[in-house]
C-alpha cells in the first residue's frame, strides 16, 4: 500500500500544519532554554524529510536578520544573553516554519485542498497567488527596465514612482489577469458546483505521520525537561 511508503515529499496539509506548529510553538516558548536544541533538531528533522533545500535557503537570512535582532535585544536588555537567545529562537521558529511551507509546491497544495473539498474559488485563488509571485518579480524588472530606457529617473521620487512605475505596473497586471482568466476558463475551470476529477491525487503516508510525531515528541520533551 502507498501509505507504508517513505515519501521524499511531505503531504502538503501535513507540511502546513507542521509549519504552523513550529511557528506558534517557537513564539510561545521563545524564552525556554531547551528551545534552541529543539529548533536544531527540527532543522535536521526537516532536512531528513525532504526540506533540505528550503532549510538551506533560509539559513543565511536567519543568520543575518536573527543575528541583527538578537544583537538589538541584547543591547536593549542591558547585556542580557537570555533576551538575545529568545529573539534568536523566535527567528529560528519563523524561518523553519517558512522553510517547511516553502517546500510545498503550489500545484500539490491545490490538489490537496481540492481533495478536502475546499471551494474552487479559494483553491484557484491560492494557486494563482502562490505561482504568481515569481512572475511578479519579472514584471517589476520589466517596468523598471522600461523606466531606465526612457530615462524616467529614480523610483525614490514619489511622482516618478506613481507615474512611471505604479501606473504601468498595474496596467500590466490588469492585462495579465484578463489573459490568465481566459486561459483558466478555456482549461475548463468553473466556479459552479460542477463535477471535477483530480488528475494526480495526494495521499498522506507513514512518513508524514512519523514526521509529525517527531515534531510533537520534541515539543513534549522541551516542555517536560
Partner 1 sequence: MSYEQQSADVAALIENTREIEMELAPKRAALQEKLKKREAREKDESKMFRRFKIKDIVFLAIITACTLLTSAIMPLLIHVPVFGIIQLGLGLQFSIFPVIGLMKVRKAGSMTIMGVFIALFLVMMFPPMALIAVCAVVVELLVFLFFRSYKNDWACVMAGTLYMPLTVPLLYLYYNVNYTVTGAENEAVSMFLGGTDPWVIVGMTVAILALCFVGSVVGMLISRELKKAGVLKK
**Which spans of this chain sit near partner 1 (rule: CB under 8 A)?**
16, 19-20, 23-24, 27-28, 30-31, 65, 69, 73, 76-78, 80, 82-83, 86-87, 90-91, 94-95, 97-98, 101, 121-122, 124-126, 128-130, 132-133, 136-137, 162, 166-167, 170-171, 173-178, 180-182, 184-185, 189-191
Report, in Å, the least distance between residue 223 CB and partner 1.
Answer: 15
How many other CB atoms are there within 10 angstroms of residue 167's CB atom?
Answer: 12
Report, in Å, the least distance between residue 8 CB and partner 1.
Answer: 22
Instruction: Using the minimum distance from each CB to partner 1, give the nearer residue, 56 or 122.
Output: 122
Helix runs in the chain, H state only: 12-28, 35-46, 52-61, 67-76, 81-102, 106-115, 120-150, 158-160, 167-186, 206-224
Instruction: Using the minimum distance from each CB to partner 1, give the nearer residue, 56 or 136.
Output: 136
C-alpha separations of 187 from 69, 108, 122, 131, 176 in Å: 47, 18, 17, 17, 16
Report, in Å, the least distance between residue 63 CB and partner 1.
Answer: 14
Report, in Å, the least distance between residue 52 CB and partner 1.
Answer: 19
State the Cα angle at 115 between 112 and 117, rounded to 5°.
115
Instruction: Using the minimum distance from each CB to partner 1, give the nearer residue, 37 or 189.
Output: 189
Q: Provide the grid cell at 191.
A: 466556479
User: For residue 215, which of 66, 55, 58, 96 has the smallest C-alpha distance?
Assistant: 96
Residues in Cβ contact with 54 at an 8 Å cutoff, skipping those fewer than 6 apart: 46, 98, 99, 100, 102, 103
Report, in Å, the least distance between residue 217 CB and partner 1.
Answer: 22
Residues in Cβ contact with 187 at an 8 Å cutoff, skipping those fewer than 6 apart: none
Q: Provide the grid cell at 90.
A: 523566535
Instruction: Using the minimum distance from each CB to partner 1, give the nearer residue, 138 or 151.
Output: 138
Report, in Å, the least distance between residue 35 CB and partner 1.
Answer: 13
Instruction: Using the minimum distance from each CB to partner 1, give the nearer residue, 28 or 217.
Output: 28
Instruction: Using the minimum distance from each CB to partner 1, give the nearer residue, 1 or 116.
Output: 116
Amino acid at each position: 500500500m502507498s501509505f507504508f511508503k517513505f515519501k521524499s515529499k511531505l503531504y502538503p496539509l501535513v507540511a502546513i500544519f507542521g509549519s504552523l506548529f513550529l511557528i506558534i510553538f517557537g513564539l510561545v516558548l521563545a524564552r525556554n532554554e531547551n528551545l534552541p536544541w529543539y529548533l536544531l533538531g527540527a532543522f535536521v528533522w526537516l532536512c531528513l524529510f525532504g526540506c533540505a533545500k528550503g532549510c538551506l535557503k533560509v539559513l543565511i537570512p536567519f543568520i543575518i536578520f536573527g543575528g541583527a535582532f538578537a544583537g538589538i535585544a541584547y543591547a536593549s536588555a542591558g547585556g542580557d544573553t537570555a533576551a538575545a537567545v529568545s529573539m534568536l529562537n523566535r527567528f529560528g521558529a519563523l524561518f523553519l516554519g517558512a522553510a517547511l511551507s516553502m517546500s510545498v509546491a503550489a500545484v500539490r497544495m491545490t490538489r490537496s485542498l481540492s481533495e478536502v473539498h475546499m471551494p474552487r474559488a479559494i483553491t484557484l485563488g491560492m494557486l494563482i497567488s502562490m505561482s504568481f509571485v515569481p512572475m511578479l518579480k519579472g514584471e517589476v524588472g520589466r517596468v523598471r527596465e522600461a523606466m531606465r530606457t526612457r530615462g524616467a529617473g529614480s523610483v525614490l521620487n514619489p511622482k516618478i514612482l506613481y507615474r512611471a512605475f505604479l501606473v504601468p505596473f498595474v496596467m500590466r497586471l490588469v492585462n495579465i489577469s484578463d489573459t490568465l482568466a481566459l486561459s483558466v476558463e478555456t482549461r475548463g475551470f468553473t466556479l459552479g458546483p460542477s463535477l471535477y476529477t483530480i488528475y494526480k491525487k495526494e495521499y498522506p503516508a507513514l512518513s508524514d505521520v512519523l514526521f509529525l510525531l517527531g515534531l510533537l515528541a520534541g515539543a513534549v520533551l522541551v516542555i517536560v525537561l
